[in-house]
Structure 1
Amino acid sequence: MQQKHQPMNADSRLQVQPQLINPNATDHTKRLMTYLCDIYGHRMLTGQQIGVVSMPEIEIIHEQTGLRPALIGFDFMNDSPSRVERGTVGTDTELAIQWGKEGGLVTFCWHWNAPMDLIDEGPDRYWHSGFYTQSTTFDLGKAMDDQSSEAYRLIVRDIDAIASQLKRLQEADIPVLWRPLHEASGAWFWWGAKGPTPYLKLWKLMYDRMTHHHRLNNLIWVWNGQHRDWYPGDEYVDIIGEDVYGPARDYSSQAERFNLALSYTAVNKIVALSENGPLPDPDQLIRDGVPWAWCCTWYGDFIWKKEQDREVYTEHYTEAHMLNKLYQHPFTVTKEELPDIRAYRLPDSNERG
């Protein structure tokens, strides 16, 4: 297949060295970061979030375009201990391992059900929506201020539970673009409801616990706090993600949000469109100089609808012609075009810094 390539004008902000914050990262993880840095500013990975037990989105995209996304977004939602104790069974780890073994790239978020204090009342505060601030009285500020408390102990318990899933991916030699504690500054999730101070403590606790205690070396840390005050520091962040949901059929580049993300730090970091509704028009991305490292369209209604008992593509948010344009454009990378990351070059000593 002919290699797609559509370089943008040189921009010093897009020159990112493949230096991971965890110096003990696996070779496969280092190779992935090197690849991401190599294509950043030149090409964008196609991506798609799946629902939390199934992935009809991928086949629907394939039916429309003949291609598959380079990257799939998974979720540890049903691995949250306060959900597991109510009967949920997480399945995304198995799906991600299979996708990674097939050569696809993996990103994970975690809709973390509050460890305790779930309200569990109707009409919209039931336990299964316990990641939302409105569905729990869990107070992160108090928990992080008292390491002897039950609340703090349960936070660590939950982090350890997810670490056990990430270990399974590490044992399968699959790097993970790991995007925890997302959209914190919006305060609609409990981990952001008490402001930046306890959130920053939680981010650093999670990083230290997963990296040093559990020795997870397959993670590329994607911070998605979406406000400068919530930025934990360059030593705790590999990549910056922005979640942008424009109006239906708004194919703009979202340049304002891209430039905002660049402003969070004086150190060059890769910036990704970690969640989106409508797809961005690749021609507008090139025109505006907005090379998101990847996009990751949200699942369900953003991609498909039920029609005669089967899932079919819906054009409500992104028309079929734009879906095809993005997947077939020289600026984008689909799964079919990914190199074998396991055989990709390692960064040399100068690049590592």
Structure 2
Amino acid sequence: GDGKDGLGMFNVIPCNPNATEEVKALLNYFNELSGNGIITGQHTQTTKQEELKYIQEATGKLPALCGFELLSYSPNINRLQSSEECLLEVKENENTLDNAWEWVTRQKGLITFTWHWFSPMGGKDKSFYTEHTDFDASRAIVEGTAEHKALLSDMDYMADLLKPFCDKRVPILWRPFHEAEGEWFWWGSQGPEVAKQLYLIMFDRYTRVHQLNNLIWVWNSPLPQGYVGDDKVDIISRDLYPPAHQHTDLRQEYEELIQITPTEKLAALGEIGSIPSIPALAETRVPWLWFMTWSNDYGKSELFTTKEELRRAYHHDYAITLDRLPRLY
């Protein structure tokens, strides 16, 4: 498509030609919402989901979008060479998929998944970090290597966990290989071109082999280098951590992000520390589709966003909270 049509909207044909009707309905809703409202989101790192309790106590509301962490489902966690901190993080994160089911079925909210993927081979401790693994992502994209086989094995394992959501036709905002612009995670450690190839391998495998037609593909890097192409992405996003208590419309960051695509794409704040200013966004209409506040201190304390600012955001007409989310499927 050629970006916006006569109605001033984006073309939102799913990048997966076999996408479910529910995916299409959600993308159409996003299309209408973009520039007219923003979806409130919160990442939850543990099964206790203390961030949600905090928001509910502070605002009387819940976010429309909940983020879930998949790190504990990584098949290659080296428990023998892991710190207490790592083991605790894994333990507290176990069974987050049960929480996701509950969120979808009981609350009727939207879901997005983040996978801090412990490296498929080698590695110790929190091996999603480059510094804790010798796993070579540049070898993982080469067919026939041990690294490639390990990569596909982990991908297939995760696909099986995602399949029940597909069977029940639940759309997932799927944000794989997040922060691919950086070298801090193994998938970005060999540069953006390698990260791009990893994403394309997953895209092909998940759409063609596993037929996970419920995934909405979210690319998460502001770099033009390594962009995977408009035909493999539904929504572009970036992660931002502004200074504590700095709340703006993030216009400049939006303008930078949309430079990576030849055609206009829906754009989101995949992760954020201090929340954006909802009153400012209502004025300027910078079309961020959602923001997802990160977990722990970002989402359950006043260190980055005061309760007053949170209330102002969640009670603003421009904010889509859980109670304002239409039933789309």
TM-score normalised by the chain length of structure 2: 0.91
- 1:237-252 to 2 correspondence within 5 Å? 237-252=233-248
CA contact (8 A) 1:52 1:78 kept: no
Checking the alignment, whether the CA contact within 8 Å between 1:76 and 1:162 is kept in structure 2 is: no
Q: Give distance in 2, aligned partners of 1:97 and 1:61.
A: 20
Structure 2 vs 1, CA of residues 195 and 149 (structure 1 numbering), >3 Å: closer, same or farther? same
CA 1:74/1:44 → structure 2, altered by over 3 Å: closer, same or farther? same
Write the distance in 2 (CA, Å) between the matches of 1:28 and 1:141: 36
Matched, 1:104 2:104: no
**1:308 corresponds to:** none
Q: Structure 1 unaligned segments of length 5 or more: list them.
A: 1-9, 121-126, 305-313, 343-353
Q: Does 1:55 align with 2:49?
A: yes
Letter in 2 for 1:117: G
Aligned-residue Cα RMSD (Å) equals 1.9
Q: 2:5·2:11 contact (CA, 8 Å) conserved in 1? A: no
Query: In structure 1, how many angstroms separate the alpha carbons of the residues matched to 2:144 and 2:5?
Result: 49
1:331 aligned residue (308, 318, 324): 318
Structure 2 gaps, min length 5: 81-86
Counterpart for residue 132 of structure 2? 135
1:20 is aligned, of 6, 14, 24, to: 14
C-alpha separation in 2, matches of 1:198 and 1:61: 38
- The Cα offsets for residues 235-283 of structure 1, whole Å up to 9 and x where unpaired, read as 1110001111001000012211111111111211000011000111112
Q: 2:37 aligns with which of 24, 40, 43?
A: 43
**Aligned partners of 1:217 and 1:85: how far apart in 2?**
34
Q: Does the aligned pair in 1 maintain the 2:41–2:65 contact within 8 Å?
A: yes
Within the candidate set 239, 253, 258, 1:257 is matched to: 253
- What does the per-residue CA deviation read over 1:3-44, in whole Å, with 9 as the maximum and x for residues that have no partner? xxxxxxx99996212210112111111111111111111000
Distance 2:132 2:269 in 1: 28
User: 1:188, 1:303 → 2: CA distance?
Assistant: 23
Q: Which of the numbers 216, 221, 230 marks the counterpart of 1:220?
A: 216
Distance in 2 (alpha carbons) for counterparts of 1:303 and 1:203? 29
Which of 143, 150, 160 pairs up with 1:154?
150
TM-score (ref. length: structure 1): 0.85
Deviation at 1:287, TM superposition (A): 3.5
CA gap 1:296/1:14 in 2 versus in 1, 3 angstroms: farther
Identity of aligned residues (%): 36
Question: Does the 8 A contact of 2:36 with 2:285 survive in 1?
Answer: no
- The reply on whether 1:95 has 2:92 as its aligned counterpart is no
Provide closer, same or farther for how the CA distance between residues 13 and 191 of structure 1 changes in structure 2, counting only shifts above 3 A: farther
- What's the CA shift for 1:196? 2.0
Question: Quick check: 1:52–1:77 contact (8 Å CA) kept in 2?
Answer: no
Work out whether 1:29 is the aligned partner of 2:51.
no
Q: CA deviation at 1:303?
A: 2.5
Structure 2 contact 12–234 (Cα < 8 Å) conserved: no
1:155-234 residue pairs with structure 2 within 5 A? 155-234=151-230
Aligned to 1:317: 304
Q: Residue 83 of structure 2 corresponds to which residue in structure 1?
A: none
- After the TM superposition, list the runs of 4 or more consecutive aligned residues in structure 1 that deviate by more than 6 angstroms: 10-14, 84-87
Equivalent of residue 327 in structure 2, options 327, 330, 340: 340
2:43 and 2:295 in contact (8 A); partners too: yes
Give, in whole Å, the separation in 1 of the partners of 2:58 and 2:219.
Answer: 32
Q: Is the Cα–Cα contact under 8 Å of residues 97 and 172 in structure 1 kept in the other structure?
A: no
Specify the SS of the correspondent of 2:225: helix
- Give the counterpart letter for 2:224 in structure 1: R
Task: Please name the residue that 2:59 is paired with.
Answer: 65
For residues 108 and 202 of structure 2, what CA distance do their matches in structure 1 show? Answer: 28
Which segment is superposed worse, 251-260 or 11-20? 11-20
